[in-house]
Amino acid sequence: MPDEAFKAKWDDMSGLLLYDRVMKMKRHFLVSYQSVIYRLVELGLARKTIWPHFNKLLQERQEKKITRKEEPEPQPEAMFSKAWQRALEVHPLDDYDFWDDRQDKLVRDALLRELITTSRAAEILGCSVEKMKLRKEGWALEQTGEY
């Protein structure tokens, strides 16, 4: 995961919550979630305190304790085949594959700059106001660097 590509993709997904962001990064770069978190810390995009914070989110999402050797939302085996790799070379992933990321990022930016209300943000993203408030709290944690 080259530094600049990693940082650019991480920034593109800034509208997503931490768990979703890490899972999308893992799928994009075809690595483990632990590799993504390690790179976040290594590049100074997160503190070492992200580990317990993410493990808590992971346990909540998976509704069970995950061991270090388990991988949540594993990649399909086909993604590691030579045929899949050749297909990616011929038809690489495009920004359209991640269109939702852009909308989430725009909504996040507008909400944090107080250009739109929480209820309007929820309406745009098609979620409840309560879920939007949780998402906003996650973004606030990220901005303060608490993870």
Pull the structure tokens for residue 64.
């069970």
Q: Is residue 137 a contact partner of residue 52, using CB atoms and an 8 Å limit?
A: no
Buried (b) or exposed (e) across 4-31, using 16+ Cβ within 10 A? eebbebbebbebbbbbbbbbbbbbbbeb
Inform me whether the pLDDT recorded for 35 exceeds 90: yes
Look at the block and give the residue holding tokens 């990616």: 88
Mean predicted confidence (pLDDT) in 104-123: 90
Check whether 65 has a pLDDT greater than 50. Answer: yes
pTM value is: 0.62
- Mean per-residue pLDDT, 128-142: 85
Q: How is residue 47 written in tokens?
A: 């503190």
Inform me whether the pLDDT recorded for 43 exceeds 90. Answer: yes
For the chain, the domains span 3-67+94-144
Instruction: Report whether 83 contacts 34 (CB < 8 A).
Output: no
Distance of alpha carbon 37 from alpha carbon 57, whole angstroms: 13
Residue 134 CA to residue 114 CA, distance in Å, equals: 17
* Dihedral sign computed on CA atoms, order 16, 17, 20, 26: positive
| Per-residue confidence band for 145, with pLDDT thresholds at 50, 70 and 90 | low
Label residue 96 by pLDDT band (50, 70, 90).
very low
- Average confidence (pLDDT) over 63-87: 63
